[in-house]
Structure 1
Amino acid sequence: MLEKYTELLAPIYQFLREETPQEWVDEAKKAENLDVILLDHMHCELKAAQSAAFLIRRYVIDKQSAKQLLHWLKPYEDFTYRNIGDGCFSDGKNTLVGELTVQADNPVYQDILDKMVRLIKEELHHFEQVLDIIKQRNITIQPSAASRYAGALIKHVRTFEPAALIDKLIIGAFIEARSCERFAKLAPYLDEELGRFYVSLLRSEARHYQDYISLAQDIANQTDPVRFNVDERIAFFAEVEAQLITSDDTDFKFHSGKPTL
């Protein structure tokens, strides 16, 4: 199933300090845990879109554009968090956001906007795909509390700029890379339909992690690449992320650590 993706996955395995523990795979492949995996996966896709939108709003676009961006995500958030709507978004993910205005004449900011808007569209598309699978399998849609994973990474974000932006971009890269790695780990154990779906996500997730890293490097290069050394921060977050993935975790989720249920 994954033979064609060896070259694609190789940089992911290099980037991540540790592979997913087999204990997590063994728990995730159990039929009784499929509901948990799919529901948390659906929430993760929306959170990925929201995180990208936050970066655009916080750093790149003006206030009016920020309102347009929030309006774009609102139907998805209403359905997921407020139980508003039926989960049919027409072509919502491809809704024309309009002319989002970059705050400053800065080619890096324009690149952030372009890459993050594309990422948002793709994550919303994945959200809709997972939701369709959940509906087809008659899984009850319910809230899914966030795991410790992202919050524990964000705690280490530096408090001054552009260091904070660089750290947030690097964290985005780790979340996307880990998602890609877990899709690949889990796909061979799933039924054919779901396995093929998870494999189909690998290429976009791999590109997302690379986009985040290239943007972090561009920001550093534009200011002071010695002072804001991206490789050093990648190494730092690699250690933090590896500890989260390999340590015991009582809350089983898509990005959780070693299950101790």
Structure 2
Amino acid sequence: MNEALQEIHDFLPCRTPKQWIDNALANQDLMLIDHAHCEKKAASTALSLMYRYVKNTELLNKMSRLAREELRHFEQVLAIMTKRGVDYRHLTPARYAAGLRQQVRQDDPGRLVDVLIVGAIIEARSCERFAALAPFLDDRLADFYTSLLKSEARHYQDYLKLAEQAAGGPIDARVSEFLATEKELIEAPDTEFRFHSGPVSS
């Protein structure tokens, strides 16, 4: 797992700011609620790709598996929340995903390539944040977040491979454009704490 995590650290443009980790530890109920939303949205994204690109057999297989895993994670987060007396509720979304998707091209194959790159970046950042948080959490939550690292790392790799296939060649330049935006979203101060927010001033 250390090798996969190192690959993700090498891929991402920056580490999660310490201020965000402090925010997360001070808002663990909110973190869990938004984490549940993130898992549900990840499953929804995978399913939407399956509906739109019905002739791409490899995409269908990988997104089907990913959607099942993300929904299982959603159920696991809900179970933890229930044990802790945390109610699942609606939250306004972080600016993160919307900020990344602003760059997505409108027409295929560019649209598919970009959506898959965004998916890879979100999965990679989730993995990085699980690893960053785990040392500071109680044993139950630390074990759970550590258990998610392997699947999130694989999801990131699946998304990138599918993006390369959709592009029919290297995607490094396009990935770099999205990562520049991602760095800004992760490091710039935010107004609301979310799992993918920037740091929020206390």
- Structure 1-normalised TM-score? 0.76
Q: Where does residue 38 of structure 1 map in the other structure?
A: 32
State the 4+ residue runs in structure 1 displaced beyond 3 angstroms. Answer: none
Distance 1:157 1:14 in 2: 23
Whole-angstrom CA distance in 1 between matches of 2:23 and 2:102 = 28
Q: Secondary structure at the match of 1:256?
A: coil
Residue 14 of structure 1 pairs with residue 10 of structure 2:
yes
1:175-209 Cα offsets, whole Å, 9 max, x none, are: 00000000000011000010000000000000000
After TM superposition, give the deviation of residue 140 of structure 1 in Å.
Answer: 2.0
1:137 maps to: 84
What residue number does 1:101 align with? none
Asked if 1:191 is matched to 2:138, the reply is yes
- Separation in 2 of the partners of 1:160 and 1:142? 35
Distance in 1 separating the partners of 2:93 and 2:22: 21
Shift of 1:219: 1.1
Deviation at 1:141, TM superposition (A): 2.0
CA offsets, 1:116-144, max 9 Å, x none? 00000000000000000000011122112
Bigger RCO (CA 8 Å, 6+ sep): 2
- Give the 5 Å matches for 1:52-91: 52-60=46-54
1:145: how far off? 1.5
State the distance in 2 between where 1:142 and 1:134 align.
11
Amino acid at match of 1:58: R
The Cα shift of 1:259 comes to: 1.1
2:179 aligned residue = 238
Aligned to 1:81: none
Structure 2 portions without partners, runs of 5+: none
Q: Distance in 1 between matches of 2:89 and 2:107?
A: 37
1:178 aligns with one of 125, 130, 144: 125
2: CA distance, partners of 1:29 / 1:159: 38
CA distance in 2, matches of 1:117, 1:151: 23
Q: Percent identity?
A: 50
Preserved contact between residue 23 and residue 199 of structure 2 (Cα < 8 Å): no
Contact 2:100 2:118 in 1 (8 A): yes
Larger radius of gyration: 1
Which one-letter code corresponds to 1:25 in the other structure?
I
